[in-house]
Structure 1
Amino acid sequence: MRFLCLHGHGTNSSILEAQLEPIRAYLPTNWEFEFLDGEMEAEPAPGIDAIFPGPYFGYHGEPIPDDVQNAYDLVLEVVREEGPFDGVLGFSQGAAVASTLLLNHARTDPTEELFKMGVFISTTMPFDMGSGKLKLTYDPAQRELSAIHQDVEGNAIGDDHMDWMTDVRSKGVIDEFEARRPMAASAKEATSVDVLLRFHPITHTQRIKIPTAHVIGEKDQYADHGRALVGMCEPRLAHVVTHDGGHQLPRSTSTVAKVAGAIQMAVEQMQFQT
C-alpha cells in the first residue's frame, strides 16, 4: 500500500507525519506514506506553533477558483508523475483537497482512476469546480454582504432561486467570508471576491465510489462537513469512526485503534474490488 498524504491548512507535512504516528503503529509496517506540502505559506493553525516549528503551509487560502485550481493541479501533477498511489489520506483542508480532486476528476476524466481508496480526517466539504461560483461583495458603507450566483464563465444566473445565506452549497464559504469581514470592513470601498460552491449530498447525485474511511470529532466545528462527506460516498464502502474530540486526530488508544481498523477495512475492500 502506498498513500499520498495531504496536511491541514497552517501546518505542514512533518506535522501530519508526527500526528499520524499513533495510527501508523497499528498498520502494516510495509505500507508507505508519502507527504506533500502545500505551496502557499500560511499562518499557523491555532495552537500549532506552540508544539511544532514552521514554516506552515496551505494548499489554498479563501476558496477562490484560481487558488483551488492551483491546489487541484498540484496534487494531480504529483499523482501522475510520482504515482501510482493506492490511497489518499487527508486531514482538514488536505482531506477537502483530496475529495475535491476525486469528485471533479471523476466528472471530467472518468476513465482515469487516481486512487483506489481514501481516508478523510476532520474534513471540510469539497468544492464543485464545475457548477459556477458566488461573487460576494461587502459594502462597508451599508455594512451589507450581497452575492450573485454566476456560471463558470462569470455570467449571472438570472433564474436562480438559491438562498445563498442558507444553501448547503454556500453556507460554509459564507461563514469563511464572514470570519474575514473585519478586514473587508476596514476598506473604504466595496470589495468583491469570487468563491466556489461546495458539493453536498442533498444537491449533488455524484458519489465517491471507492472504499473510504472517515474520522469525525463530535466537538469539531466542521463535524457537519464530515458527516456530509460520508453522504457523498458509497454507503457500503464508507467506514466511519467518531470520537469525542474537536478538530484534531483522536488521541485515545481505543479510538486510534478503531481508526486503524477502519483504514484496514477500506483497504481490504479495495483489494477485493481489484
Structure 2
Amino acid sequence: MRTLMLHGHATSAFIFKAQTIPFRSKLDKSFTFDFIDGPYTCPPFRGLSTVVPTAYGWIKNNDIDSLREAVQWLTRYIEVNGPYDCICCFSKASAVVMAMLMDETLVDIELRERIMPRSIIFINGSIEYPFLEELGMPISAKARQIKYKTEQLVKQRTDGVAKLARTLVKPGVGGGLWDDTSKLMHNPKRLPPVFDCFGLDFTFLPQDALLSIPSVHIVGAKDPIWPSGVQLAYLCDPAKRQFYDHQGGHDLPRTPQVGADIAAIFKELSLKMKC
C-alpha cells in the first residue's frame, strides 16, 4: 500500500514523519510512505522555530485562485510520482486534496481519474469555503463565523506555547496545550445533522457528487477545528467513511494506543483494496 503523506500548514515533511512514527513503525514493508513539503515556504509556528527554521504551506491565501494553484501543483506531482493507493493529509492539506478530487472546475474528469487514490485518510481535516462555493454550495454567515473562531483558537494556542515542538515529536507529550475545552464550539460525542453542519446544509449536494472512495476521518475531541473536519467528512459517501477520535487537540498524539489504532486503520484499508 503506497501512501502520499501531506503535512499541515506551517510545518514540514520532517515534522509529519515524526508525528506518524508511532503508527508507521507498526506496519510491515508492504506499506510505503512518500512525504513531501508543500509548494510554498512560510514562517513556522512560534513554538516550532527551533526545530524547523523554514516551514511549508499549501496555499498562499484562502481564495479560489490560491486553491487552484495548489491543486495544479499537487496534481502535477501525483501525475509524475503516482499513482497512490492512499493519500493521508493533515489539516490544511485536506482542503487542497478534497478540492483536487471533487471540483470539476479545478481538475477535469479524465485527469481526476488518473490521479484518484483508492482511499483517503484525513487527520484533523480542514476545509476551505471558496472550494465549496465553486461547487455552488451556499455559505451562511453562521458557518463563516464558526470557521473564523475555530481557526483563531488554534492559532492562539500554537503561537502561545514555546514548547510546541515537544508536543509534535515526543511520544506521550501534550504539555496541556489542548486541555482547556471551554471555548470549543462542538460536542465531540454528537455529530451534527446533515442539513445544519455548523452552518452548512449538505443536503444541497446530491449523493453522486460526494467523494465515493473509502475515507477515514481522524479527529480529536479537543481540536478547535473539529467542526471543519466533520464538514469535510460530510463531503464523503457515508457508506464508505469512518471516524476515529484520537482524543487530542489539533495534533496527533504519539501514544502507543493511538499508534496501534491508526496502524489498524491502514491495515483495514489495505485489505479492502485487495477484495
1:1-274, aligned counterparts within 5 Å? 1-45=1-45, 47-50=47-50, 52-105=51-104, 109-111=108-110, 112-113=113-114, 114-127=116-129, 129=131, 131-132=133-134, 164-166=140-142, 168=143, 170-171=144-145, 174-175=148-149, 201-205=202-206, 206-272=209-275
TM-score, normalised on structure 1? 0.72
Tell me, in whole angstroms, the C-alpha distance in 2 between the residues paired with 1:163 and 1:87.
30
Query: 2:139, 2:200 within 8 Å by CA — same for their partners in 1?
Result: no
Preserved CA contact (<8 Å) 2:147 2:228: no
Contact 2:5 2:89 in 1 (8 A): yes
Q: How far did residue 91 of structure 1 move? A: 0.7
Using CA pairs under 8 Å that are at least 6 residues apart, name the structure with larger relative contact order, 1 or 2.
Answer: 2
Could you say which structure has the higher helix fraction?
2
- Judge conservation of contact 1:200–1:229 (CA < 8 Å) in 2: no
Kindly indicate whether the alpha-carbon contact (under 8 Å) linking 2:151 and 2:225 is maintained by their aligned counterparts in 1: no
Displacement after TM superposition at 1:92 (Å)? 0.8
Q: 1:43-75 CA distances to partner (integer Å, 9 max, x unpaired)? A: 21352234x223101011331122111110011
* TM-aligned CA distance change 1:265 to 1:199, over 3 Å: farther
Superposed displacement of residue 17, structure 1: 1.2
Question: In structure 2, the residue corresponding to 1:69 is in which secondary structure?
Answer: helix
Shift of residue 110, structure 1, vs aligned partner: 3.6
SS of match in other structure, 2:4: strand
Q: Note the alpha carbon deviations across 1:176-225, whole angstroms, 9 max, x for none.
A: 8989xxxxxxxxxxxxxxxxxx9873443321111122210001011112
**Aligned pairs, how many?**
225
For the residues of structure 1 that align with 2:40 and 2:201, how far apart are their CA atoms? 26
Q: Is the 8 A contact 2:26 2:263 kept in 1?
A: yes
State the shift of 1:164 in Å.
3.8
Mapped contact 2:44–2:52 kept (Cα < 8 A) = no
Unmatched segments (≥5 aa) in structure 1: 134-150, 152-159, 180-197
* Residues 130 and 229 (structure 1), Cα distance of their counterparts in 2 relative to 1, 3 Å cut: closer
Deviations 1:94-146, CA, capped at 9 Å, x for gaps = 2222222112259953441421111110111255547449xxxxxxxxxxxxx
Q: How far apart, CA to CA, are the structure 2 residues paired with 1:128 and 1:269? A: 33
Alpha carbons 2:100, 2:107 under 8 Å: kept:
no
Q: Distance in 2 between matches of 1:128 and 1:264?
A: 34
Q: Judging changes above 3 Å, is the alpha-carbon distance between structure 1 residues 108 and 38 closer, same or farther for their aligned structure 2 residues?
A: closer
Structure 1 contact 88–118 (Cα < 8 Å) conserved: yes
2:103 aligned counterpart, secondary structure: helix
In structure 2, C-alpha distance between the alignment counterparts of 1:123 and 1:255, rounded to whole Å = 17
Letter in 1 for 2:44: P
Name the CA shift for 1:217/1:14 in 2 (closer, same or farther; >3 Å): same
Aligned partner of 2:194 in structure 1 is none
Q: Relative to total residues, which structure has the larger strand share, 1 or 2?
A: 1
Give the letter aligned to residue 95 of structure 1: S
1:62 match: secondary structure: coil
Structure 2: stretches of 5+ with no match in the other structure:
154-198
2:55 & 2:100 partners in 1: Cα distance?
A: 22
C-alpha contact (below 8 Å) 2:58/2:93 kept by paired residues: yes
**Normalized against structure 2, the TM-score is what?**
0.71
Select the structure of larger CA radius of gyration: 1
